[in-house]
Amino acid sequence: MSSGEHPARLSIGVIGAGRVGAVLGAALARAGHRIQAAYAVSAESRERAAALLPGVPLKEIPEVIDGADLVLLAVPDDALPELVAGLAATDTWQAGQIVVHTSGRYGAEVLRPAMAAHILPVAIHPAMTFTGTALDLGRLEECAFGVTGPDALRPMAEALVVEMGGEPVWVPESQRAAYHAALAHGSNHLVTLVAEAMEVLAAAGVEQPRSVLGPLARAALDNALRLGDAALTGPVARGDVSTVGAHLRELGRISPEIRTTYVALARATAVRALESGRLQPSAAEPLLDTLADQEPTP
């Protein structure tokens, strides 16, 4: 297959039947490709493979790669470079194989040790959080995939994403870490923020924190995605210093760790509100002074 063609039906080997690998393998199988083998270590991964990749034999890594048109590497970021280099050192890669990894952090350059074997290197990262169940297959519809690789492979890589139901987004090699940082900041840290807010609500005696916070958080997220900084509301954006001070005292009592998170985010919010003109400089100065003290007030 030439690099510019729409991918034909491929024989695929999946290395890493974790939450991402098993789901993407199932999505590729749904698109008509054949999953020839998978590699799974833990009992959870083996169960996941049985559920999402029924009938696919579990084999050792060299056997998964042998004869595959496409090898899907769905392993943790920190394990990827060593795995690629180790397989190159043992001459496991085969000429003409499409090698796709799912790491958000890395682009195609991490696959360089395998390029001496004349593989076709591509990074395809789904911008989605996974449960490792069939539920994720529906979530792939219109999910963005960060794609990085040689220009000649771009049509092939984007076609694979479309076949899985996703939307390809081209990310330059040099910007891969920034792309991944943005996604981690906007999703992983959102989980921490929401969990902390529910903890404080519970401490305030609210019996169903998720019912109280859910509608507000969903509306705030929707507004932020549509309006950006124009969606800012609340005491920080208004410069309500006494209200922010009361928040700090209560959070210091309930959880100094959550208070620290509040201070960091309130400072960032104040700066963005100031730069966007929503917070006047005269109100910003006393607010930032209040937020300057990291230690809870006795």
Q: Over the stretch 161-199, which tens digit does the pLDDT of each residue have?
A: 999 999 999 999 999 999 999 999 999 999 999 999 999
My answer on whether 271 and 131 are in the same domain is no
Do 204 and 112 fall within a single domain?
A: no
| Residue 36: exposure state from Cβ atoms within 10 A (0-12, 13-18, ≥19) | buried
Does one domain contain both 140 and 200?
no
- Mark which of 171, 196, 228 sits at the end of a domain: 171
Residue 15 φ then ψ, to 5°: -105, 105
**Residue scoring higher pLDDT (8 or 163):** 163
pLDDT at 297 over 80: no
49, with CB counted inside 10 A (0-12, 13-18, 19+), is: buried
pLDDT, position 295: 55
d(CA 213, CA 197): 8
- Answer yes or no: are the C-beta atoms of 166 and 144 closer than 8 Å: yes
E-only strand ranges, 175-278: none
Average pLDDT over residues 108-136: 96
- CATH number of the domain enclosing 86: 3.40.50.720
Contact criterion met (CB below 8 Å) for 84 and 65: no
Host domain of residue 82: 11-171
In a domain, 120, yes or no: yes
Last residue of a domain, one of 153, 171, 189: 171
* Same-domain check for residues 205 and 85: no
- Residue 159 predicted with pLDDT over 60: yes
Are the C-beta atoms of 172 and 55 separated by less than 8 Å?
no
- Using the predicted structure, report yes or no on whether residue 265 has a pLDDT greater than 50: yes
| Cβ-proximal residues to 195 (8 Å cutoff; 6+ apart), any chain | none
Closest CA to 200 of 239, 249, 238, 245: 249
In a domain, 264, yes or no: yes
Regarding whether 129 and 20 lie in a shared domain, the answer is yes
11: β partners:
34
Pair (165, 195) in one structural domain: no
Residue 297 lies inside a defined structural domain of this protein: no
Q: Where are the alpha helices (DSSP H) in 53-124?
A: 61-65, 80-89, 112-115
Q: What mean pLDDT do residues 140-149 have?
A: 95
Residues 187 and 156 in one domain: no
Provide, rounded to the nearest whole percent, the portion of the chain with pLDDT above 90.
94
Which of 171, 203, 226 is the endpoint of a domain? 171
> Cα separation of 80 and 196, whole Å?
32
Is it the case that residue 102 has pLDDT exceeding 50? yes
pLDDT at 142: 84
Q: What is the pLDDT of residue 8?
A: 67
Kindly state whether residue 1 falls inside one of the protein's structural domains: no
- In this structure, the answer to whether residues 28 and 154 fall within a common structural domain is yes
Whether residue 266 is found in the same domain as residue 233:
yes
When pLDDT is cut at 50, 70 and 90, the band that residue 2 belongs to is very low
Count of domains observed in the chain: 2
Tokens representing residue 114 in the block: 């395998």
